[in-house]
Chain A
């Protein structure tokens, strides 16, 4: 469960560059729900994700994940509640560590890390099994350094890493944006499977309207730091990409000039 109450974030407060990134966002996402987030550049998508992940601390408002108030908690302090896949395939794992070492890191997310060997035989076997499920042949490369993998392979491993330890929430930050179309499709299918198998409460930020409507149970659109559209259920089922654009125009009364929004 995610609950955001009147979240306000202002960057550079009191300077000429002051920018209100979020202007009182209220959002409740039920347990096990999959929500997609769209919006133009600067709409506040990244800030919203940052507020949930802990990279950005809200100036005002209250952030609840699960049953925990995490408003003032740092990224590392709330990591046990939040799993995350980044947009940049290089960002979500350690290139200089091996595949199995990265999984070992993820398996202890949010827990204390002791002096026990990170890669005992049982853990190794578990990691191998989890990686084998990807059907990418990576299970035979468990000792390879992560930076030998392609961007798509790294994102696939990142998804496995996100589910190694239990968590309440999965945050996906345009995690297919840097991939070629074939790999992006593969990663989305994998995402779909992982989310439904584990019944994760998921928030996916995307640039693709197509993705936003095809996946998940609910779609919200951000603009200028506010939620301007929130659709789910039947009204969402009938929605087309063209409708989204039209709706966006109507609600804002502005002409749409952001190409990124038009990319199906």
Chain B
């Protein structure tokens, strides 16, 4: 079994990646845009936040700037797709690849450490609660705020327009919705959330690393799919909660798989385990449907 520390560590990481999951949900499910930009915008958020914090900028402000940087990355992908008609997947891969270089430029080196620097969490460490609990609690509160904000948005007139754009673009245009603008808005929002996840990752883990983005998309997608498997398609709020729960469960499952000696897995097997988990999560609903029909 998992130790307390390992368990709460997994929960914390799951909550950080819940932002990624919600971002991926917005792009993949709401807009129907397979956006791989997240592999670049996650470390971008981490890099921007870490660099700004090391030069003494307020960590909250650093997180906001990180979100803006993420939004800009999403906008570039949208621009390539909308303006030049580059296939959505390819447009996002181009941005993702470009961001690797951008992230190295931002940091000036492959990684930046945040040891001893004040982060968003620092003020909460001295309040008597153990650090293992403070971190997931802090990130959890932010996740709840994000879930409520995204939920209210998607149930507003503006959000409905975005959902319609993904579901039926031709009908959306006939209803007066500028579908190109919706792609810009959706990808900006999605990648801003992912970048916020990156900024929180840097602050909770104490470093930003240029390679930390590899596989972000798969992790986010895994969370979304696990959530859908658990909650089904029953409204926006449950879908968003599914993203969060899926993200946490995914981390716990990974932690369990890696810490169970019987399986003989090593940390370096992480990507393989992730791929297997996502494949299983993709196949499960299909099997269930097959059994019922």
Contact = CB atoms under 8 A, between A and B. Distances in A.
Interface of A: 53-54, 74-77, 79-80, 82, 84, 86, 91-97, 101, 104-106, 108-111, 113-119
Given A76-B179, A77-B178, A113-B157, 10 more contacts: A74-B173, A84-B174, A91-B170, A94-B171, A97-B163, A104-B157, A113-B156, A114-B156, A115-B156, A115-B157
B155 A105 contact: no
A119 B173 CA distance: 21
Contacts of A82: 174
Interface SS of chain B:
helix
Nearest to B179: A76
B168 A118 contact: no
Contacts of B264: none
Contacts of B168: 91, 93-95
Contact of A110 (B158, B163, B176): B176
B167 interface: yes
9 contacts: A92-B174, A93-B171, A95-B167, A104-B157, A113-B161, A115-B157, A116-B157, A117-B155, A118-B155
A118 B160 contact: yes
Contacts of A76: 172-179
Contact of B159 (A53, A79, A86, A118): A118
A113 B177 CA distance: 9
A101 B176 contact: no
A114 B161 CA distance: 10
A108 B157 contact: yes
B164 interface: yes
A5 to B, nearest CB: 24
A94 B178 contact: no
Contacts of A91: 168, 170-171
A76 B177 CA distance: 5
A78 to B, nearest CB: 8
A105 B174 contact: no
B153 interface: yes
Identify the 7 closest CB pairs spanning chains A and B, nearest first.
Answer: A79-B176, A113-B157, A94-B167, A110-B176, A75-B173, A118-B160, A76-B173
Nearest to A111: B176
A157 to B, nearest CB: 12
Given A91-B171, A94-B171, A95-B168, A105 B156 contact: no
A97 B157 contact: no
A105 B158 CA distance: 9
Contacts of B160: 97, 101, 104-105, 113, 118
A115 B153 contact: yes
A77 B174 CA distance: 9
Contact of A97 (B156, B164, B174): B164
Nearest to B181: A76
A110 B167 CA distance: 19
A82 B176 CA distance: 9
Contacts of B156: 113-118
A193 to B, nearest CB: 22
Nearest to B174: A84
A256 B232 CA distance: 54
A105 B175 contact: yes
B288 to A, nearest CB: 19
Most buried by B among A77, A92, A94: A94
Interface in B135-182: 152-153, 155-161, 163-164, 167-168, 170-179
